[in-house]
Every structure is written in C-alpha cells, then in structure tokens.
Chains A and B, each alone.
Chain A
Amino acid sequence: MGAELLDARPALALLVSATGAGLIMLIGYRARLRAWLAVGAAVLKFVIVWSMLPGVLAGQVYGLTLFEVLPGLALELRVDALGLFFALVSSTLWIPATIYALAYMRGRQGQRRFFSFFALCVATTVGIAFAENLLTLFVFYELLTVCTYPLVIHEGGLAARRAGRRYLIYTLSGGALILTGMVVVQHLAGTLSLSGTGILDSIDNHAALLAIFVLLVAGFGVKAAIMPLHSWLPAAMVAPVPVSALLHAVAVVKAGVFGLMRVVYNVFGVEHMRVLGFAGYLGLLAGFTILAASVIALRQHNLKRLLAWSTISQLSYIVLAISLLTPAATLAGIIHLANQAFAKITMFFAAGAIQRATGKTRIDELDGIGRQLPAVMASFTVAGLSFIGVPLLAGFITKWYLSLGALQAGSGGYMVVLALSGLLNAAYWLPILYRAWFKPPAGVAAAGNTSPLAGSAALSPMMLVPLLICAAYVLLLGVGAEAPAMPFVLAEAAVRLVFGLPGPAP
C-alpha cells in the first residue's frame, strides 16, 4: 500500500464540475457557450480522474483534508481503488450524457438551470466516491438529493411536483436514518473513517451494531432502491430522459449502492460482518427484490417505467453481491456498477431517441422500430442481451462472478435466483426485440418513408454518437474484460483492498 500522498487532484475533480455548474448558472445564457462549458467541464473532469488511475493501480492513495467540521471529524477526500472505480464510471459516462442532453434538451425551457444542476450532480457524485469518512460521504449524499430535485421536477406540472415530493420524502428520510446511524458509529467507534477495513471491530455491543447496520443499510437502501424503499424510482420517470439516465445509470442509485459497499466493507469490515451474520438477511432481501422487480417489469407498458423496474432488479444484483462477502462476489458487485451503468444508459438513450424521433413511448407501439431506427435498436439489443446475460457481453461477466461468489459463500441457492432472473429478463426484453425487428412497422404505408435510415436521419448525431459509444462499451466490457486499461483491473485492485489480499484477484 503506497503512502498516503497529499494531492489536490481529488478536490480538483470536484471543483471542475462545481465551477462549471456555477459558470453555466451565471453566464450560460447562449446555447453555444452553455454547450462548451458543459462538455469542457466533463472532459476536464474525465482527464483528472483518469490521471489518477495508474497511481491507484500501483497502490498509491491520494488524500486531502478540506475542513475540520467537528473535533476529530473533517471534510476529507481520499481516493482509493473502490472510490476511483465509482468516480471513473460516473465521469466517463458523464461526457456522453452531457452531449446527449445538449441535443435532447434543445428548444426546451429552463436549460440554464438544468445544465448547472446537471453538472453539480456529477460533482457531488465524485465527492461521494472520494469521501474519506462517513460525514463527507453524507454531506455529498444530501447535496446530491438537493441537486437532483430540481432536475426531477424540471418538466413542471402536477405529476412532476408529486414525483418530486415523493422523491424528497424518501431520500431525505433515508438521509435522516444515515445521520442517526453515523452518530451511533461515532459514539461507539470514535471515528467515521472509511480508510480502514472495519472501524467497529472492537465493539461487541450486539444490539447497537444491529441498530447501526439497519439504520445505515435502510438509509443507503432508499437510493439503492431495495424493496420496500424503491417506489420513488418509477415515480421519478416523469423527469426528462437525460435526467433518468443520470439518475439510474450514473449518480443517484449508484450512490446508494456505493454507500452500502462503504458500510459493509469499510465501516463493518468483511470478517466482522461474517461473524455478525446480518448480511444474510440483506442477501435474502436483495434476492426477493431481483425477482419481484422483474415480475412487475413484465406487466409494464411504458418503456421508461420498464427500464425503471429493470434498474431496481439490477441494483439488487449488486446488493446481493455485497451481502455474499466473498472476493468473487465483491468483484461481481463492483464490476456490475460499470456493466449496469453502461447498459442502462444505452437503453435510456435509445428510449429517448425513439421518443424524440417517433414520439412513441409504449412498448406495444414499437413494432418495426428496428427498421426505422436501426442504429438505435441495435444498441438497445446489445444492452438487452447484456442484461439477459448472453456471453461476450458485460452482463455475463457479472453473472459469472456472482455465481462463483455464491458458491464460495456456500449459498448456492442464489444460483437459482440468478438463473430465474435471467429467464425473467429474457421474458421482458425479447418480446421488445422481436417486435422491433421481426414485426412490420404498424401503418408503414402511412408513414411513407420506408428507407431504413430515414427515421434515424431525423436524430441529430449528437444523440446517436453517445448511444453508440455506450453500446460499444457494453461490448468492450464483455469481451475485453481482461485487457489492461479496462475497469476490470481496477475492480480487482479494489477487491484486494477490501479483503486485504496482497496478490492478484482470486
């Protein structure tokens, strides 16, 4: 483990998009300037985060203390393998998301506010990724809620307001639970640091430990959309597509799951969790959520709501991986952060493109869409197959290591759950693909434009290109997992950290 290196880069990454947001809010009146600011901030952040990759892979840890908020408690940033992985995923995805949003929101009102909060959201996400202690993580966690709220209700109107209110009630109550848990941890452990592998080891007060576990897991579980804390997610579909993409793939839900990881791996520590045995119940809950969400997804008609329910089930894959407490499962959990992100964002981009080009939002309207928007549907198909778990795609990697992890943990039963979930996924993705490719488009004569590319021509390249990039990434993650520059290697480094294993991954 390299020595703790004092480095400004973590704070710089944060500052870049925060100042970007500020500038957009202050001077972002003209579309062109706004575009340059947004994309510029995104690329700059991407460069800074990636610049830390080689160092972290070599075991280096970057740290920076910002403010002494309370005696013994400071706002502190620390970049370790797990944190960098999450920051990597979000900053990489933010560039296509920004470009896509610029195209999608053209001509819509309130763009200045939209893009400044859009930039602020990802700044806070990186803040969560680099938090050294639970307090810093909580500060950015609450800031994330405050920043995403205006995005969720961007459309205005009653439905948006009601969804916004429900979103606030759930996330703020979750925040209060986390705060309570944090106080108990500070009281018992005397510190909230996430740099070690377990600060509660020396505590034997079983009841308090259970209370901490329940409080923190429920608090983070709200954003990780574990049932029964999930119902804000489908309701938040009323937001514009780039926001849903941001919410689901990049920022909000991932923050919840990342928080759970920090709690299980850094607050409790793997060995202590095994001894306490609370993780088993979390696993059961995750398993239930995977299946229940998929069953509900079957009955969805609106494409975006289907995506929402699919996210809820996919997130619980990660929660299940966390609860198994074995190296392989942890690896699956971390890598699924990226797999689910890229696949889900591709699907959202596709849904947005379909809605923008053809105005269709319901599944039964998607007949023959493949011919109209071949590129869009091709990437949608790649993402769909990845979720089903077809080999050579990202989803397969997760399922592979997850089952390996389940076996390692000796709870083979989850293999059944994974298989069942694969089937259910197939049950709701394949009909869409079949309908899109093999069914004639409804009333094609009326549409008149039979040329395959006509439909996608209406889409601006700024929407198509990010779509294809993400789909390509899903493929890349699936095929070239072992390749050096791929996130897989970083995930392994994170696992070694969590389990304190010196050598390469299992």
Chain B
Amino acid sequence: MRALAAFADWPHLLPALFLLPLAGAALLPALLRTRPAVAWASALAVALATTMLAVLALVRLLGDGDYGYAMAGWAPPLGIELRYDRLSAITLLTGALVSLALLFARREMTGAGRRQAVLYCSLVLILLGGMNGFVITADLFNLFVFMELLSLPAYALVAMSPARGAALAALKYLLPGAVSSLLVLFGIGVLHALTGSLNMADVAVRLTPGGPSPATVLALVLISVGLLVKAALFPLHFWLPDAHSAAPGPVSALLSGLVVKMGVVGVVRMFDVFGPALGGAMQAFENLLLILGVLAILTGALAALVQHELKRMLAWSTVANIGYIFVGLGLAGSAAVSGGIAHVFYHGLTKAGLFLAAAALVERTGLHDIDDLRGLGHRMPLAATALSAGLIAVAGVPPTAGFVGKWQIALGALEAGRPELLVVVLGGALLALAYGMRVINALFFRAPVSDQVVTASEAPASMLVPSVLLVALALAGGLSGARVIEFILPFAESLGGR
C-alpha cells in the first residue's frame, strides 16, 4: 500500500486520467488499422491502466483530501483548473465498466464486427477519456468540451449496431443531445458575461453579490435543462428507451451505467456554482428536481412493467432510477443527497451488469421479447442467473446495491418531513421487484416456446465474466454500504454551500 501511495503522490497524475485514454484512441487507428485483435487487446490494456490511475487518484484523495491541478501551470481563473473531489471517485467506475464492456465485446470484435473493431475501440476510449475529464474538471467551458467529447462517441456507438432501427435511435439521441449541449454553452456564455471568468469556484464567488438576478436564473435554467436532457430526467427522458435498447449490448451498459450519470454529475457541480448566489431560488430548483424525480420513478417503473422487450424494459428502469437519484438530490438533506450520489455509483454498477447479462441472452438467441426468452434459464444458467440476481439488486432488496441508496433517500425524505415520499420511493422498489420477477418467472419457471431457446448454449466466457462479476459486485455492494455512505457524506454535507 505504501508503494501505491508513493506513486499516487506523483503531482501530474490527474490529467493522465483522460490523456491516457484519448492518446490510446488517437494511436489506435494510426498503429493498428489492420489488426483488430491487437487493437482490442491494447484498448482493454489502456482502459485497465486508466482504472489503475483512478485507484491512485482515490488513494491520494484518501491521503490528503480534495486536490486540484492547474493545467499548463496557469493558476485559475487564467488557466483551466482540474479538481478531484469525492464525487470524482466515479472515475473508478468509468474505468472498470469500460474495461468490462470491452472484455464483453471481444467475441464481436474478433468475429463479425472485425472491420469496425478499431473504430469501435477508439470511440469507446474517447468516451472513457471524455467521462473522466468531465468528472474532474473545475472549469465551466472545459466541462462543455468534455461533455461533447463523451456525447459524440456515444451517439456513434449507438448507431454501430447493425440492427435496422439503430441509426434512427442514434439520431433521436443526437438531436436532443446537441440542443442540450448548446443550451449548456449558452448558459456558460451568460455566466461568462456576468462574471468574466470560467472557473467554477471563481464564478460562484463573483455571482454571489449579484444575488438571484434574472440573468443568473436564466443561466441556471439553460445549463440545468441541458444537463437534465443528458441525465434523461423526466420529461426530458424521451430519447433514452430507443437509444439504450437499440444500442449494442456493451454500449447500452455504458450508456445506462455511466453516460446518463454524467448529466447527474453536471447538475451536482451546478449546485456549487449557483448555490451561494441563488440561495432561496435554489430551494425552488431543488423542489423541481424532487417533483420531476418522483414523476420519473413512477413513469419509469410503470412503463418497465408493460414492456415486452427485455432491453427496453431495462432502459425504462434506468429512467426510474435516475428519478431516485434526483429525488435524493432534490431533498437536499445530507442523508438524502448521500443516498442519491451512492445510487449513482451503485446503479451504474448494477445496471451495467444487467445490460451485459441481457445482451448475452439476446445476442446468443437473437430474441428480444421477454416471452420469447421463456425457459432460457435452463439452457443458459449462468447468464440467466446473473440477469435474475441483477434484477433483484436493481429492485433494491436489502442487502443488495440498490437498497443502500433507496434506504438513505427514504430516511432523507423523513428528515425533510415529507413522509408521503416514502410511498413513492418504496413503492417504486416494489414495482421494480414486480417487473424483475416477471422476467425471472419467464426465464426459469416457464416452458420454452421458441426453438432458438431450445438450441441455445451457454454464453462464452468473455461475455459471462463481466456480467457475472458486475452482478456479484452489485449483490455484495450493498454489504459495503456503510463505508460508501461514510465516504460520500462529507461531500454531501458541503454541497451547494449549505
């Protein structure tokens, strides 16, 4: 551990979190254009190395608290500043999930998708670099650049599945995405006009004397609407079901597990920027997030209940879980906020495992419909068990991963004196259990109806290892809930200059 800590003290560690994947992405098409297998292997190596860097960054945080880095040596507000705080620990999740998604895609990369392998790996690495950069930057415009850097490959990766509707789903994802990025840029422009600076902390300080002036409120509205489209919070979630179900297996795991969470991280950053200046108006914003979160839970859970396709059901489940996160953030108590942020980590883990397991089933049999997948549990026991365990984890049955966040949010609701929210938070969990059991019932306790199921064979190791590993982490994740919540609490308490 000491050696690790020594290496973690290398002052220039932070930018490497996004420079390494982006360098990998730039080199892959140049070096390995004709050798897809090597390209896949090196992309996986880069992703794993980035995860290791994330571990080192976390070790340094545990050592001496939040720390920053001035790019090009220019101190803020002149230059761009990076800041690694407790929320940035999500870089651990991004590195790990991207590596597992790449591992999952091995068969595709060396099989039918060989021609696209190099492009696929580069785009996935750019996605990873963009996400890592987005999470650790403390500069508003840099946040916009990294947001584009992670959104662009996401649009393309959705369209990389040969399925007929994939391109249209990607376009339905791109157009609202582009408008939302534009709104964020517009908001940043307004903030720049008001304060002359782009560094988040500096902007927050210079905004405060102005108080809740209409211009500041306009900036908040523009930026938050943009970020909420990226986070797919109800009613700005309409693009998600198509995009997440049409995308290839590993990509939908990354989209639901991580990319959607970037919008959440963005909104959390905005709490610190606008918190001190808006004060009272911020309360109204939090209430709005709360109400939208509640509506998201209900629409997501109910829609998931009636879906016929497995991946579309999981996509709607993401809409519901994003609702949980924003209910946590909206309640603004330290318990609720820590629950919301813990749910960002835990849901990312669980939903990625779920989508990978679902992809293993769907891609092996070519069937999308839950009723067609009946009886598959006996033919593909490991993948089906991973999917079932994941469904139980996402529903939040204690002590699985989903439970930690929901419990803290429920407690937060009581602390905020809003017991009626309990019905929504725990009712949503019950609904999640309902649509989960529907799939488990179909997989294990119903006779097969389609012949692809009868002839199906267990998924290859490269698909099984990531899904089983993630679902196991999700089930066990709940057991480490205390440490994760204690890790997040200081960040939750200091949010929004409370």
A68 to B411, CA, bound (A): 17
Residues in A whose Cβ lies below 8 Å from that of B423? 180
* Cβ of B413 to closest chain A Cβ, rounded Å: 8
The answer to whether A70 and B433 have CB atoms under 8 Å apart is: no
Chain A interface size range: 20 to 34
Q: Chain B: which residue is nearest A177 at the CB level?
A: B426
Asked, given contacts A75-B399, A161-B445, A183-B407, whether A68 binds B426 with beta carbons under 8 Å apart, the answer is no
The answer to whether B434 and A172 have CB atoms under 8 Å apart is: yes
A417 within 8 A of partner (CB): no
For B444, give its contact among A67, A75, A150, A183 (CB under 8 Å). Answer: A150
Residues in A whose Cβ lies below 8 Å from that of B397? 139, 142
A175 to B395, CA, bound (A): 13
The answer to whether B404 and A70 have CB atoms under 8 Å apart is: yes
The answer to whether A183 and B427 have CB atoms under 8 Å apart is: no
The answer to whether B422 and A180 have CB atoms under 8 Å apart is: yes
Residues in B whose Cβ lies below 8 Å from that of A142? 397-398
B437 within 8 A of partner (CB): yes
Asked, given contacts A67-B479, A172-B434, A176-B430, whether A187 binds B398 with beta carbons under 8 Å apart, the answer is no
Chain B interface size range: 35 or more
The answer to whether B482 and A184 have CB atoms under 8 Å apart is: no
The answer to whether A187 and B414 have CB atoms under 8 Å apart is: yes
Q: Which chain B residues (387-430) contact chain A, with CB distance < 8 Å?
A: 392, 397-399, 403-404, 407-408, 410-411, 414-415, 419, 422-423, 426-427, 429-430
Q: Chain B: which residue is nearest A179 at the CB level?
A: B426
Q: Which chain B residues (103-159) contact chain A, with CB distance < 8 Å?
A: none
The answer to whether B486 and A69 have CB atoms under 8 Å apart is: no
A180 to B396, CA, bound (A): 13
Q: Which chain B residues (432-449) contact chain A, with CB distance < 8 Å?
A: 433-434, 437, 441, 444-445, 447
For B398, give its contact among A68, A69, A161 (CB under 8 Å). Answer: A69
Asked, given contacts A176-B430, A179-B426, A180-B426, whether A138 binds B445 with beta carbons under 8 Å apart, the answer is no
Residues in A whose Cβ lies below 8 Å from that of B480? 67-68
B231 within 8 A of partner (CB): no
Q: Chain A: which residue is nearest B485 at the CB level?
A: A71
Residues in B whose Cβ lies below 8 Å from that of A135? 398-399
A23 within 8 A of partner (CB): no
Q: Which chain A residues (179-195) contact chain B, with CB distance < 8 Å?
A: 179-180, 183-184, 186-187
Asked, given contacts A150-B445, A153-B445, A183-B411, whether A68 binds B392 with beta carbons under 8 Å apart, the answer is no
A211 to B420, CA, bound (A): 12
For A186, give its contact among B411, B445, B447, B481 (CB under 8 Å). Answer: B411
For A69, give its contact among B434, B444, B479 (CB under 8 Å). Answer: B479
The answer to whether A168 and B437 have CB atoms under 8 Å apart is: yes
B2 within 8 A of partner (CB): no
Residues in B whose Cβ lies below 8 Å from that of A404? none
The answer to whether B426 and A71 have CB atoms under 8 Å apart is: no
A175 to B437, CA, bound (A): 14
The answer to whether A69 and B411 have CB atoms under 8 Å apart is: no
B275 within 8 A of partner (CB): no
Q: Which chain A residues (60-97) contact chain B, with CB distance < 8 Å?
A: 67-75
B300 within 8 A of partner (CB): no
A497 to B346, CA, bound (A): 40
The answer to whether B481 and A68 have CB atoms under 8 Å apart is: yes
* Cβ of A232 to closest chain B Cβ, rounded Å: 15
Asked, given contacts A71-B486, A74-B482, whether A176 binds B411 with beta carbons under 8 Å apart, the answer is no
Residues in A whose Cβ lies below 8 Å from that of B407? 70, 183
B164 within 8 A of partner (CB): no
For B392, give its contact among A74, A146, A156, A175 (CB under 8 Å). Answer: A146
The answer to whether A183 and B422 have CB atoms under 8 Å apart is: yes
Residues in B whose Cβ lies below 8 Å from that of A71? 482, 485-486, 489
- Give per-residue flags for A160-182: 1 if the beta carbon is below 8 A from chain B beta carbons, else 0: 01001000100011011001100
A499 to B482, CA, bound (A): 34
For A70, give its contact among B408, B419, B447 (CB under 8 Å). Answer: B408
Q: Chain B: which residue is nearest A173 at the CB level?
A: B430
Residues in A whose Cβ lies below 8 Å from that of B426? 176, 179-180, 183
Q: Chain B: which residue is nearest A146 at the CB level?
A: B392
A72 to B335, CA, bound (A): 13
- Give per-residue flags for A221-254: 1 if the beta carbon is below 8 A from chain B beta carbons, else 0: 0000000000000000000000000000000000
Asked, given contacts A135-B398, A186-B411, whether A176 binds B427 with beta carbons under 8 Å apart, the answer is yes
B12 within 8 A of partner (CB): no
The answer to whether B422 and A73 have CB atoms under 8 Å apart is: no
A164 to B445, CA, bound (A): 10
B478 within 8 A of partner (CB): yes
Q: Chain A: which residue is nearest B403 at the CB level?
A: A69
Q: Chain A: which residue is nearest B388 at the CB level?
A: A146
Residues in B whose Cβ lies below 8 Å from that of A211? 419
The answer to whether A69 and B478 have CB atoms under 8 Å apart is: yes
The answer to whether A179 and B437 have CB atoms under 8 Å apart is: no
For A139, give its contact among B399, B427, B444, B481 (CB under 8 Å). Answer: B399
Asked, given contacts A153-B445, A176-B427, whether A70 binds B414 with beta carbons under 8 Å apart, the answer is no
For A75, give its contact among B415, B427, B429, B479 (CB under 8 Å). Answer: B479
* Cβ of B297 to closest chain A Cβ, rounded Å: 14
Q: Chain A: which residue is nearest B409 at the CB level?
A: A183
* Most chain A beta carbons < 10 A, residue from B392, B422, B489: B422
Residues in B whose Cβ lies below 8 Å from that of A187? 411, 414-415
A68 to B478, CA, bound (A): 9
A180 to B419, CA, bound (A): 10
Residues in B whose Cβ lies below 8 Å from that of A74? 482
* Cβ of A75 to closest chain B Cβ, rounded Å: 6
* Cβ of A222 to closest chain B Cβ, rounded Å: 13
Residues in A whose Cβ lies below 8 Å from that of B415? 187
- Give per-residue flags for A102-127: 1 if the beta carbon is below 8 A from chain B beta carbons, else 0: 00000000000000000000000000
A interface residues, Cβ below 8 angstroms from B = 67-75, 135, 138-139, 142, 146, 150, 153, 156, 161, 164, 168, 172-173, 175-176, 179-180, 183-184, 186-187, 211
Q: Known pairs A67-B479, A139-B399. 13 more at Cβ < 8 A? A: A69-B403, A70-B404, A72-B482, A153-B445, A156-B445, A161-B445, A168-B437, A172-B437, A176-B426, A179-B398, A179-B426, A180-B422, A187-B414
Q: Which 9 A-B pairs have the closest CB atoms?
A: A68-B482, A67-B479, A187-B414, A176-B430, A183-B410, A69-B399, A69-B481, A70-B481, A139-B398
Q: List 25 A-B contacts (CB under 8 A).
A: A67-B479, A69-B403, A69-B482, A70-B408, A70-B485, A71-B486, A71-B489, A74-B482, A138-B398, A139-B399, A142-B397, A146-B392, A153-B445, A156-B445, A168-B437, A172-B430, A172-B433, A172-B434, A172-B437, A179-B429, A180-B422, A183-B410, A183-B411, A184-B419, A187-B414
